[in-house]
Every structure is written in C-alpha cells, then in structure tokens.
Structure 1
C-alpha cells in the first residue's frame, strides 16, 4: 500500500461530533400488569436463576467495556465493529477529544509524580509524506497512510516539549497484527533511526523542536484499531541531544542519560498512553451509538 496523502491533505483539521440519536423504540416500557403476571407465574428457583443471568451479563458487559478502554484488546466488544469505528475517527471526532487542551498525568512522572501537559500546537491533518524519517516511513508502508494527526504539548514548567501522533492506516486487522509483531519482535520501536519526527510551531515553546532535538520516543501499533500511536519528546530550549533513548529505557531507575534525568521518557510514554486511552473512549462511544 502506498503512503500518499489522501484527499484533503493539508486542510485544517476541523471536525464535528456526531449528534446523539435516540430511538423511541428502545425507551418503551412493557405494561405493568404483564410484568406482574410474569412474576407470579415464575417459580422461586427460576426467578433466582434469571436474576443471576441478568447480573452475570451486566458484569460481563462492564468487564468487556473496561478491558477495551484499558487496552486489553483480547476482550474488546464487537472487534469488527470497533475496528471500523476507529478507522473513521479522524474525520468525525472533535480535535479536543483526541488531543485535549490539557492532559493530566496522575502518577505519570518519575517516582510516580504527577504531570500536566498543555497543548501548544495542532498540525493540520495530512498524509505521511515528509512526516517521518525515511526508514520509519518504509517500515510503516505495509499498512498505508490514511491520515496523520499530530499535536505538540509542553509540560507545566515549559522545560520539555512532546509531539504525540495518531497514524490512521489503510490496513485490516491481519495487517495490523503483522505490523505489531514485526515492531515488537524485531525491536523496531526501540531503534534510534526509526524515531518519529516532532511537530514544531512558531511562537510556541516547541518552535525549535526539530530532528536534532528529539530525545525520547515511543511507538505503539494497535491491533484492535487501524492506528499507530506515537510520541517523541525533547527539551524546550532547543538543545541538541546526542544520545536519544527509547522511553522504556529512559524510564528505568538506573538510566543516567540526559533524557532519562529530565524525565523525557515519562513525557513521551505518559502522553502517548493518555491519548491512546482517549482514542479508545471515542471508539467505544461511537460504537455504542451505531
């Protein structure tokens, strides 16, 4: 599959949420006497069994929804429907739902410290040409590029900047599983020559956030949605980083590199995780409304 931009590439990302719709047929109540008659005819044991079934189904439904929202795709409800819903989020979900103006990272910093990230720029939705280094562009080619959404944040001290991105692919579930297996199995998500690129913006703390300023990163290939979630962090003062480090390594207590000491691994991982959670929430909401 090619990675050429789709129609409308380069346009400002302006979206409108789908209005909630209610079906009157789902709100009608049965006659009270009919429900009473059922209760009178039902033996005690049968009534107990029915109550257990209803309770069990409720617990199972809640657990399945919770598994999807927390990232356990093995129990996600309606995988085909959720996958299809996720593929359409780039054009029918408000930008603030995917990239909130402020992201709270409770316990997301070093030692379990809280983090807060404030959005300073949102890139126009686009294709992938020029958005990735050549090797990463090539590695992602098998799943294609439907749309790329990006936003850049700064931390509460304005000392670090982080770009987080959502790559919506053209792939089916089989292709996404194959890509994830390759990234994890071959360690592509830890290679310095496969770092995502930052999105700088003039007049913001991220104005000098270029290729040489990238310090830590994370890449996550989802299998229950045609999406690759990634983030890359750096110093807000524009300093060049000689030893960029994957977020997983920079978050280790024993790490002594500049990115690790500055907590940039936590910034990349923390923001990526929370944007991914927001994506899952949007998918669940959209799926329920269908």
Structure 2
C-alpha cells in the first residue's frame, strides 16, 4: 500500500482513511484523502482478474476504458492493490426519483457492461453455484430442514433451467447497491473482482432483486435493457434467474455471518437477511409461476 501511494502521489501522508463496505469479492476497500482529494484504495491479496499468462487488462481496467467504472490511478494485479477515483455518491432513489427513471438508468448501465470487450476471466457458472451450496451444507450455518429445502429448490433450477448457455456477455456478477455509485447524474460501477463472462440474465436478476418491486416493473426493466418489447420467454428467464440469485446471495451472506467476524447484533441482522433471501427464493420456486416459467423457457 505504501509503494502504491508513493508511486501515485509521491507521499504516504494521508489526511484520512476510512474502511468501506464491500461486495462478494471479499476485497478490503478504503476511502482515502490526500492533497484535498478523495480516492478509493482496494486491497485484494488473491490478485483477481489476471489472465493466465499474467498479461493483458484486468476486468476493472476494461470497465474503466468503457466508461463504466471510475478512473484507475494505480494498479498492481500481482499484489492486488488498486487506487481509483472516489465517487461522492448520492442515493439512487433520490437522483432517479421514480421507478421508471431508476430502472431505465440501471438498464442503460447494465447494457453498457454487457457491451464491453471480452473479459479475461472465464468461470463456469454451474460449477460455482454447485460449490456454493456444497459449502453451505458443510458450514452448518442453517438447520437441516432449511438446507433440505434450499437443496431441493436449487436442484429444480439445476435440472430444469439451462444455466451457462450460449448467451454469454461481460458480467459484473455483483450489482448490489454498494457497488452502484451515483454522482448525481449517472451510475458508476465499482468492485469488479467477481466479474467474468456470464449469462446476461445474472446481472439483470441481481439488480432486479434489489430494485424491481413487481411484474410491471420487471417488464419495464427488461424492455429498457433490450430497447424493445419482450415476450414471455425473456420474462421467464429473468424470473428463474432471480430465484437462483436469491439462493446464492442468501447462502453467501449466511456463510460469511457464520465466520464470526461481525459484532453480535450485526451478525444476527445479517443472518436474518440471509435467511429471508433463501426463503424468498424457496417461496417463488414453490409457486405455480416457476413451473410456468420453465414451460416458457423450453417452449
């Protein structure tokens, strides 16, 4: 970190340093102030985003060049240190003061992500999901009855829904509100450590789970993304992927809560939130709409 500061600014004399909340990647991020200006400092020891040969652009650099992510001032992928521009963010729902405005801007942002050049990281979505639910079972962070329901619902998706198909695009894979920053005019996307080529509906589903309230908004969101009317097939794709993302996010939150690194009150709140996400996915997968959606996907 000291080397990064010296190479970028010629000094390590920070005015302030504050830790920030992160996303799925596990990176530690800080807001730092130096010479009267704020920056984002990220530490990721696992050095994600490097190509197999150790060359080429990282996912974050590609996003910066595409105008989707803030500027990067320093990057050392081998040591996992990045210094980038800090966005003095405002609440999305304050800037985009109607569901249509917000969902339209989210759709535009996701469309820009999916139009980026090929990302260097390649992962298998099915293998990742399989691994997460195996880890959930081993972690014993939920009771046997709830896990049996989760496993059964994941099996219904795994067997009935074509995950990881041919419609692969550059995907952020963690579009939670912490990673969507608004400068008062537009949305910037940060934390690209979980990015890789993935099914386009993953980004759409994650964003929808945080910002889409009902079926009418879901249709509006998809039509804004595709810039055209959408039929039952695309609506069904989004609905099923949303349930998978509920299960995955719930599992990840509960496993991290079970690591014992949070204060008790915070851990209890996070655990309740994780179980709530699991239950939302379970309820929707048990509903008649899930079977109808599978029919539309295969018809």
Specify the TM-score bucket, using the shorter chain as the normaliser: under 0.3
- Bigger Rg, structure 1 or 2: 1
- TM score, norm. by length of structure 1: 0.25
Larger RCO (alpha carbons 8 Å, 6+ apart): 1
Q: TM-score, normalised by structure 2?
A: 0.24
